[in-house]
Amino acid sequence: MLILTGPQGAGNHLWSKIFALHPQISGWKALLDTYWIGHDQEPFAACWKDPTQLKYFNWRQSDWFVTSVSVPYMDNGTATVPNFKEFAHELQNLGHRVKFGVLGRDRNIVQMQQQRVRNGVSLPLALNEFEQFASPVFLSYELLHLYGVKYLEMISQQLGFPIASNDVRLKDIIKEDTNKKYFHPIKYHPTDDLTKHTSRKHT
């Protein structure tokens, strides 16, 4: 079981779509046909509210499972911190190996996103929660858009988890870099002069 988690606004839906592409993975397949779905409809949503429900999940459908939850997530309108310890403990009791993929995005953008959408910044809460993970693999929004398939292949190796990096649908999933809406070009900055000075030819 791969647990995808990150601060609100770090890309849970994007990464859930990427992992759902692989035919052998039991993940959030409904996202492949819909741009956005609330986390209350994520396949393991009921289990995050009550991890003891994991024993009733249909584990025969695959050998690979992915779940996605942000910190915090919205439970019927209430911001809730996932109980990672109990969730992972229940999985291990059922004989499953657990891996954590912690999503990353530019700190300033995450804070602006949270303030705009949730009217408050919850990033410190998320960072504190992630301290309990012994050896997570970090998944970067920026590196994904910079290196594309090559980056996904590296992530697959690090996680020991399949990713359909050659799926034709992948191009549409990652074509929009939503960071762009937060960027505003500047015409001049004092460090520009330093750059020009150090890059000129010296005789």
The full set of domains in the chain, from first to last, is: 2-177 (3.40.50)
DSSP state of 200: S
Q: How far apart are CA 74 and CA 79, in angstroms?
A: 5
DSSP state of 136: P
pLDDT at 76: 85
Residue 38 vs residues 42, 45, 108, 125, 128: alpha-carbon distances, Å:
7, 10, 24, 21, 24
Helix (H, G, I), strand (E, B) or coil at 68: strand
Q: How far apart are CA 108 and CA 184, in angstroms?
A: 13
Q: With beta carbons less than 8 A apart as the criterion, state whether 127 and 104 touch.
A: no
pLDDT at 199: 59
For the entire predicted model, the pTM comes to 0.91
Q: Going residue by residue through the chain (203 aa), what tens digit of pLDDT does each one get?
A: 999 999 999 999 999 999 999 999 999 999 999 988 988 899 999 999 999 999 999 999 999 999 999 999 988 889 999 999 999 999 999 999 999 999 999 999 999 999 999 999 999 999 999 999 999 999 999 999 999 999 999 999 999 999 999 999 999 999 999 999 988 888 887 877 777 766 566 55
Q: How far apart are CA 2 and CA 4, in angstroms?
A: 6
pLDDT at 202: 53
pLDDT at 200: 60
